[in-house]
Structure 1
């Protein structure tokens, strides 16, 4: 394992002889993969994850964004290890039981992979496809070879196993409701890793603390409050608003950034007064793809704290179910019974703006969090939404009208 301080490669013996420290610079290693249970990784692996999520330490990020990235990469490493185990079992089975046993092991592995919730929906669908193909190969090739060698037991086994694999694979491909997945790691593990890393390396560059409510109003120069903003971004989570503000998105785009709960609380009232001075203001709703997130646009339009009785333009940048369904690959889809019930309680105006497929997706409890994307990706999406909104009347606009045309509410058709 290489030392992140000086780059010296240290073997297990080197690390043991130096009490877990680098043999060259004596910097302590945080993680020892040989003593870790479950997932295993090294200090360079963790350091690279921090560098990547922060775009080489140039962007602030939330702890949950780092959590998502670590989970994704550790799942890839775990898949690689399982592949070696499968190869080992195949080799042993070939010498002990023969070719049919190999087919059984591969098909059982694929069937188990289909129901492994740590894998994404697209990965499970791919395994289901391979299971069906494997069943066809077993059925055709296995039965042919069995007849050639006059092995009737193998012939019967090939028919049964092949047909069963084809049935199970096809059935899974036809089922589209179970799109969610689960994390490989948990929050307590993650918090322990952060604590250990900071204990040795003193800090993590660009990681944000949890947003704190700042209820004491601050005094703003009257010369500043006399002006307004061209745009407002409203997020459904304080952490996302905090991340955008920390990365100076508001300065670079002449926009205010608030969360639906009023974060930052100490400037909320003043900011809203400034915003209402601009009759050409455009508002961008930025939210999770969930029943609660989808309701953000409706809340902004109908809440007296926001823009009720106003004709300003509100644009839904996402996440929308249509965007997730169109670009499912790479999306971390989860499921929640509470959000399934919330989807059934959505206002009629919101429900009427969604297709049946989108409603079914939401009512299954599915959701995708904004924080599953990197800061760089979220900033790119917001920038693109702002650029697209500058030509609402253009024929090539990627914005579509949502709900009643008198409400001036739009949604972006694609996310990234």
Structure 2
């Protein structure tokens, strides 16, 4: 028996949803497609004088939009952005506010894809993000290592993902295991969108809670006591200049 990939076009899903609504009534909790908001929004100068305790950077606009729609930014006093600059109309203003906080906590939230695993590298080195800033970046996942022990994640595979996997930068490859690299280069991937909304909110909320103890105990790049521990956080990398720059990755997904 040859298994066939389970793939749908967006137009098919839209048709099925419309048909379901004809029979069962309107679905009110579906996010509308994100709109590009190019016109800058004017924000009161008294507001921009402040910053945030933390920022969640997502690898897709859809996940950032989802967190914002669920008021995650209000409940956790954090900014929510996407790596490609969503929300466009306040992105530059929010970035200016974030860089005013020298103790800012940065969290990356992404799919287990070649693009996702390279996010940390971009956040650390791109001057448009936090390149040159002494900040710790926390990787909430999803990483291939989170996928391996699971029996119920929706694993996809494509030639395009395989090509992207073979182009992962060398500095990113150093943070991944041999098995993780082989998995990505073979074209496998798991998208955050395959998880339930409840699970996604749980992962980010618990990830922030877990990292608080790490942040309070982290004092220098030579502190090896944080390499692993009961808090579920593993130290992945530290900047070569012995600065308080590096990133932590959770050893589980939620």
TM-score, normalising length: structure 2: 0.89
1:200 Cα offset (Å): 5.9
Gaps of 5+ in 1: 1-111, 118-181
Could you say what secondary structure the match of 1:402 adopts? Answer: strand
Equivalent residues in 2 for 1:8-407, closer than 5 Å: 112=1, 115-117=2-4, 182-183=5-6, 186-199=9-22, 203-327=26-150, 329-392=151-214, 393=217, 395-405=229-239, 406=243, 407=245
Distance 1:383 1:208 in 2: 21
Gaps of 5+ in 2: 218-225
Q: Is the 8 A contact 1:292 1:339 kept in 2?
A: no
1 or 2, which has the higher strand percentage?
2
1:225 Cα offset (Å): 1.2
Distance 2:246 2:42 in 1: 34
TM-score, normalising length: structure 1: 0.55
Report the CA distance shift for 1:404/1:348 in structure 2 as closer, same or farther (over 3 A): farther
Distance 1:345 1:214 in 2: 32
Could you say what secondary structure the match of 1:245 adopts? Answer: helix
Q: Is the 8 A contact 1:250 1:257 kept in 2?
A: yes
Distance 2:161 2:8 in 1: 22
Distance 1:257 1:361 in 2: 29
Distance 2:106 2:31 in 1: 25
Report which of the two structures shows the higher radius of gyration computed on alpha carbons: 1
Q: Is the 8 A contact 1:352 1:403 kept in 2?
A: no
Could you say what secondary structure the match of 1:265 adopts? Answer: coil
Number of aligned residue pairs: give it. Answer: 238
How big is each residue's C-alpha offset from its partner over 1:1-22, in whole Å with a ceiling of 9 and x where there is no partner?
Answer: xxxxxxxxxxxxxxxxxxxxxx
Distance 1:338 1:185 in 2: 17
